[in-house]
């Protein structure tokens, strides 16, 4: 292996990184990860850390899942690729489709449309929502609603419904007809409401108000994450998503649950929608569907929506969307193996138990470190610390300090993720009690460095 500085210098010379300023990633060289084993990663120096991020919220089963590797190798040997565009299919996607329909049956979802990742899934779901209304004779329903702070990937439709200006401003004008509702974000919200239940009601009232203002007959769908992930792990009050479902039903608006992060056990339930007792009209998935072992995704479609498409006799229900890698057989084989392993290990229960340990530990760190303004989580293995320079004013901490937290944690034994002034934790769902203790200890060291 080439030495570290050589590789870092070449990285800076040849690569632009997503979600990073190109000049910044040339100055502040990224860690070069060269190996993964269980939930531990090793960098080019040989330094080992527990991965507190789980790849990018996706490596739920860790880095050494042999059944997934074997399934990929076997599929590559047998059939590395065949398209599932009209007229052909492959056996791997058929088996996976049946498994997904069974897995998501309690969510009322019956059909799968395959994609190559989360942004693709969002794009497809938003398109299908418009087509659904056209098929039903309501062609005027073209607008989309979403939550501020929500993250829905980086394709243009997804960026248009995104609720974070960082992913929007430089690419405007985005799609017209996308409107954003305040998120149930207790720490900061325009209502200055600190009670989660009251805040949920205020946000629901804002949603209904926007629908009335736009005219329900112009709105195709509401897209939301059951727990907002990239926006800083915003866990709404349990009344929120059922409230959104009720409002969508009242006004004939489709509800798309964006479960690119939350599906497959991360929240301590098999889906985020199920956590809140809601059945969405469509669900976007990706990430843990293949655990990072292969790029893949699926939009799950409810029986009610499927019926409208499948009963069409005009030809207008033909789906004019798809990717060369929709239904890639190697991805499907990986997903089959992941789903089997996910269920065999019952990872959702470990996510709930270890998530509780992590959340409690973070609350203890908040007592110790003045810079921890808010701790969010408590529903499975997705938590965030929001760092501030002053608890009274909630002024976000500066970039240099947050970089110190990251570095301190990394050097002490855990990779954590920095997003704005948030420290995000989303380890693999197979972490042990000891792994969580390591993450908390490392974070304690990182916070002490500021």
Ligand X SMILES: Cc1ncc(COP(=O)(O)O)c(C=O)c1O
Name the nearest CA neighbour of 397 among 421, 369, 368.
Answer: 421
- Residue 261 touches ligand X, criterion: CB under 6 A: yes
Q: Minimum CB separation from ligand X for residue 245, in Å?
A: 18
- Among positions 50, 257, 286, 335, the unique one binding ligand X when judged by CB under 6 A: 286
- Residue 225 touches ligand X, criterion: CB under 6 A: yes
Of 284 and 421, which has the nearer Cβ to ligand X?
Answer: 284
- Among positions 152, 180, 274, 354, the unique one binding ligand X when judged by CB under 6 A: 152
Stretch that binds ligand X, among 44-52, 67-75, 150-158, 162-170 (CB under 6 A): 150-158
Q: Hey, which residues between 174 and 193 contact ligand X (CB under 6 A)?
A: none
Q: What is the pattern of x (binds ligand X, CB under 6 A) and - over residues 107-136? A: ----------xxx--x--------------
- Contact by Cβ (8 Å): 413, 437: no
Rounded distance between C-alpha atoms, residue 377 and residue 306, angstroms: 34
- Residue 272 touches ligand X, criterion: CB under 6 A: no
Of 117 and 361, which has the nearer Cβ to ligand X?
Answer: 117
- Among positions 53, 125, 207, 260, the unique one binding ligand X when judged by CB under 6 A: 260
Distances (CA, A) of 290 to 99, 126, 298, 426: 14, 23, 11, 16
- Residue 283 touches ligand X, criterion: CB under 6 A: no
Q: Is omega for the bond preceding 93 within 30 degrees of 0, making it cis? A: no
Of 92 and 157, which has the nearer Cβ to ligand X?
Answer: 157
Q: Minimum CB separation from ligand X for residue 48, in Å?
A: 26
Q: Minimum CB separation from ligand X for residue 205, in Å?
A: 24
Q: Hey, which residues between 69 and 108 contact ligand X (CB under 6 A)?
A: none
Q: Hey, which residues between 16 and 55 contact ligand X (CB under 6 A)?
A: none
Stretch that binds ligand X, among 9-17, 147-155, 342-350, 395-403 (CB under 6 A): 147-155
Question: By CB under 6 A, how many residues form the interface with ligand X?
Answer: 14
Of 287 and 348, which has the nearer Cβ to ligand X?
Answer: 287
Q: What is the pattern of x (binds ligand X, CB under 6 A) and - over residues 229-258? A: xx---------------------------x
- Residue 151 touches ligand X, criterion: CB under 6 A: yes
- Contact residues toward ligand X (CB under 6 A) are 117-119, 122, 151-153, 225, 229-230, 258, 260-261, 286
């Amino acid at each position: 292996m080439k030495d570290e500085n050589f590789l870092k210098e070449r990285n800076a010379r040849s690569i632009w990184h997503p979600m990073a300023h190109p000049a910044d990633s040339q100055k502040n060289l990224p860690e070069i990860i060269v190996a993964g084993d269980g939930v531990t990663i090793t960098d080019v120096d040989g330094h080992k850390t527990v991965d507190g991020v789980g790849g990018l919220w996706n490596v739920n089963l860790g880095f050494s899942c042999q059944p997934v590797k074997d399934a990929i190798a076997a599929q590559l040997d047998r059939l590395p690729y065949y398209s599932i565009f009209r007229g052909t299919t492959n056996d791997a996607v058929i088996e996976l489709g049946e498994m997904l329909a069974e897995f998501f049956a309690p969510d009322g979802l019956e059909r799968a449309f395959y994609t190559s990742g989360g942004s693709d899934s969002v794009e497809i779901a938003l398109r299908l929502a418009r087509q659904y209304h056209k098929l039903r004779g309501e062609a005027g329903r073209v607008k989309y609603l979403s939550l501020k702070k929500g993250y829905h990937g980086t394709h243009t439709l997804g960026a248009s419904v995104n609720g974070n200006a960082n992913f929007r401003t430089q690419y405007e004008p985005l799609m017209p007809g996308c409107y954003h509702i305040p998120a149930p974000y207790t720490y900061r919200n325009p209502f200055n409401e600190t009670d989660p239940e009251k805040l949920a009601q205020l946000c629901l009232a804002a949603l209904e108000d926007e629908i009335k203002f736009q005219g329900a007959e112009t709105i195709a769908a509401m897209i939301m994450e059951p727990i907002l992930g990239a926006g800083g792990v915003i866990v709404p009050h349990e009344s929120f998503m059922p409230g959104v479902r009720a409002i969508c039903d009242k006004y004939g608006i489709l509800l798309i649950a964006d479960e690119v992060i939350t599906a497959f056990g991360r929240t301590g339930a098999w889906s985020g929608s199920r956590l809140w007792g809601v059945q969405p009209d469509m669900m976007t998935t990706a990430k843990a569907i293949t655990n990072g072992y292969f790029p893949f995704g699926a939009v799950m479609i409810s029986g009610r929506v499927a019926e409208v498409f499948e009963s069409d006799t005009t030809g207008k229900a033909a789906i004019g969307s798809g990717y060369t890698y929709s239904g890639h057989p190697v991805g499907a084989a990986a997903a089959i193996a992941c789903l089997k392993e996910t269920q065999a290990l019952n990872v959702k229960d470990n996510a709930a138990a270890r998530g509780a340990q992590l959340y409690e530990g973070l609350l203890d760190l908040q007592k110790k470190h003045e810079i921890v303004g808010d701790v969010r989580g408590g529903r499975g293995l997705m938590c965030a610390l929001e760092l501030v320079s002053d608890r009274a004013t909630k002024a976000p901490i500066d970039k240099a300090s947050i970089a110190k937290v990251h570095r301190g944690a990394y050097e002490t034994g855990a990779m954590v993720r920095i997003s704005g002034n948030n420290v995000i934790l989303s380890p693999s769902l197979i972490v042990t009690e000891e792994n969580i203790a390591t993450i908390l200890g490392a974070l304690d060291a990182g916070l002490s460095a500021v």
